[in-house]
Structure 1
Amino acid sequence: MFHTPDHYHSISMRLSEVLGDIGVNEKLLLKRRRSEVLEETNKAIIYRARKCQMTAYNFGSWPEGTTTTGLRSDTDHLLTLDYINVIQDWSEWTLGKYNFLMIQNETSPPGYCLLQRLRDDTPLPYTHEHNHFVKDTSGRILLKNTILDTIVEGIEQRQGPSIATTQQPGMLDRDIVSAFPCTSWPQSAKACLGHLDVNNWPTANMYRYIKTTKCFVVGVGNKVSENADFEWRLSTSLAERCLMFSLNITQIRCYILMKMIIKTYINLDNESFISSFMCKTVLFHCIESKPLYIWKECNILSCLTYCILTLNRCISCRNCPHFFDRENNLMAGKFSDKVKQELLQTTANLLPCDGMSLLGIQFDNVGERLQIKLNIMNGVHHNIPSPDEYTRHTSAQLLRQTARFILDMHNVVIHETKDESLVMKLRILLQIVQHLTRYYRDGDMLVKVSSRLLAPIYCSSIGSLIASHNIQINNTVSPQALAWLETGFDSDVASSRLKLASILYCTGQMESAAFILNDVDQRYNIEVTQPQCSCYDFPITHKIGFEQISSQYGEEAVKYMVAYCVRFSREEIKCVPHELQYEMFRSTQEDIQHRDISDNIWMDCAVVDSLPYLYFLQYKTLGNLNRPEEQQQALNKLVWVTETEDNLGHRETALNLLGQCMEQENRLDDALQCYMLSLRERETNNAAKIHICRCLANIRL
Structure 2
Amino acid sequence: MFQEPDYRENLSLMLSEVLDDIGVNERIVMRRRRGVMLLETTGTISSRLTDENITFFYLGSQSEGTTTIGLESDIDILACMPKVNIIQDWSEWEHGKLNFLMILDENTTPGYCFLQRLRNDVPLPSTVIPDEHYITDRRGRILFKNTVINHFLQGAQQQHGPSIAEQGQPGICDIDIVTAFHCKSWPQSASGWLDRQGIGIWPTQDMRRYATSTGCFVVATGSKVSEYPELEWRISTSMAERFVMFNLNITQIRCYVLLKMILKSFLNPQDEINISSFMCKTVLLHCIENTESQIWKDNNLYTCVTYCLLELHSCVQNDRCSHFIIPENNLMAGQFTAETKHELSKNICDFIQNDRQRLLSIYIDDLGHRLQVKLNRVPHGVYYFPCSLEIYEKIMTSAYINIANYISLQHELILKHLHNKNIRTIKQSVGKLMTFSDNGNRLEHAAFKLLAPFLFTTYGSILASSSIGENNQVSPQALVWLTAGLNSDISSSRLKLASVFYSTGDMEKAEQILRHTEQQYYSYPVLSICSCHKKPPAVTAEFKRLCNEQQSEDCIKYITAFCVRFIQREVNCVPRELQYEMFRSTQDDMIHRHEIEDCWMDWAVVDSLPFLYFLQYKIYRHLQRHRDQQQALCKLIRTINTDENLRHRETALNILGQCMEQENRPQQALKCYMLSLHQRARNNAANFHICKLLSGLLVSQ
Q: Select between 198-207 and 96-105 the one with higher mean Cα deviation.
A: 198-207
SS in 2 for 1:230: coil
Aligned-residue offset at 1:526: 7.6
Whether 1:490 and 2:487 are equivalent positions in the alignment is yes
1:29 aligns with 2:26: no
Q: CA deviation at 1:49?
A: 6.0
Shift in Å, 1:545: 2.6
For residues 57-206 of structure 1, the aligned pairs below 5 Å read 57-129=57-129, 130-150=131-151, 165-197=166-198, 200-206=201-207
Partner of 2:161: none
User: 1:87 and 1:293 mapped to 2: Cα distance?
Assistant: 41
User: Structure 1 residues 154, 234: closer, same or farther in 2, change over 3 A?
Assistant: closer
Q: How many percent of aligned residue pairs carry the same amino acid?
A: 48
Contact 1:87–1:100, Cα closer than 8 Å, also in 2: yes
CA change 1:510–1:228 in 2 (3 A) is same
What are the Cα deviations for residues 619-641 of structure 1, in whole angstroms up to 9, with x where unaligned? 11111111122112111211222
Within-5 A mapping of 1:249-648? 249-352=250-353, 354-380=355-381, 382-429=383-430, 431-439=431-439, 443-525=440-522, 528-553=525-550, 554-648=552-646
Question: CA 1:383–1:648 in structure 2 vs 1: closer, same or farther (change >3 Å)?
Answer: farther
Q: Structure 2 length as normaliser, TM-score?
A: 0.94
Quick check: 6-15 or 17-26, which moved more? Answer: 6-15
The CA distance in 2 between the partners of 1:620 and 1:119, in whole Å, is 64
Per-residue deviation, residues 598-649 of structure 1 (Å, max 9, x unmatched): 3243121111111111111111111111112211211121122222222222
Structure 1 residue identity aligned to 2:484: T
Deviation at 1:46?
4.7
Which amino acid is 1:178 matched to?
A: T
Aligned-partner SS, 1:666: coil
Q: Describe the SS at the equivalent of 1:35.
A: helix
Partners of 1:155 and 1:165 within 8 A in 2: no
The CA distance in 2 between the partners of 1:301 and 1:696, in whole Å, is: 74
Whole-angstrom CA distance in 2 between matches of 1:198 and 1:155: 42
Instruction: Give the count of matched residue pairs.
Output: 692
Q: Which runs of 5+ in 2 are unaligned?
A: 159-163
5+ residue gaps, structure 1, are 158-162
Contact (CA 8 Å) 2:217, 2:237: kept in 1 or not?
A: yes
SS at match of 1:528: coil
Note if 1:695 corresponds to 2:693: yes
1:14–1:373: 8 Å Cα contact kept in structure 2? yes
Match for residue 4 of structure 1? 4
In structure 2, how many angstroms separate the alpha carbons of the residues matched to 1:234 and 1:353? 39
Partner of 2:41: 41
C-alpha deviation, 1:12, in angstroms: 1.6
* Cα distance in structure 1, aligned partners of 2:177 and 2:511: 45
Give the CA deviation at 1:220: 0.8
Compute the displacement of 1:355 (Å): 2.8
Q: CA deviation at 1:652?
A: 1.8
d(CA) in 2 for partners of 1:225, 1:165 = 32
Cα offset, 1:401, TM superposition: 2.1
Which residue in the other structure is 1:160 paired with? none
Give the whole-Å Cα distance in 1 for the aligned partners of 2:297 and 2:165: 37
Distance change >3 Å, CA 656–CA 358, structure 1 → 2: farther
User: How much has 1:436 moved relative to structure 2?
Assistant: 4.0
TM-score, reference length from structure 1: 0.94
The 1-side partners of 2:568 and 2:672 are apart by: 25
Judge which range, 560-569 or 127-136, deviates more: 127-136
Q: Secondary structure at the match of 1:125?
A: coil
Q: CA deviation at 1:87?
A: 0.9
Deviation, structure 1 residue 34: 1.4
Shift of 1:453: 2.4
Matched-pair contact (CA < 8 Å) for 1:165–1:175: no
Q: The residue matched to 2:356 in structure 1 has which SS? A: coil
Query: Using the alignment, how far apart are the partners of 1:48 and 1:667 within structure 2?
Result: 50
- Higher mean C-alpha deviation, range 625-634 or range 596-605: 596-605
Could you say what the CA RMSD is over the residues aligned between the two structures, in angstroms? 2.2
**Mapped partners of 1:270, 1:676: distance in 2:** 47
What is the alpha-carbon distance in structure 1 between the residues aligned to residue 113 and residue 95 of structure 2?
23
- Output the CA distance in 2 between the equivalents of 1:92 and 1:164: 38
Give the C-alpha shift of residue 415 in structure 1.
1.2
Is the Cα–Cα contact under 8 Å of residues 67 and 257 in structure 2 kept in the other structure? yes
Name the CA shift for 1:94/1:444 in 2 (closer, same or farther; >3 Å).
closer
CA distance in 1, matches of 2:432, 2:522: 31
What is the distance in 2 between the residues matched to 1:471 and 1:681?
34
How far apart, in 2, do the equivalents of 1:674 and 1:10 lie? Answer: 65
- Indicate how the Cα distance of structure 1 residues 699 and 302 shifts in structure 2: closer, same or farther if over 3 A, else same: farther
Whether the aligned pair in 1 keeps the contact of 2:18 and 2:371 (CA below 8 Å) is yes
CA 1:125 to 1:153, structure 2 compared with 1: closer, same or farther past 3 Å? closer
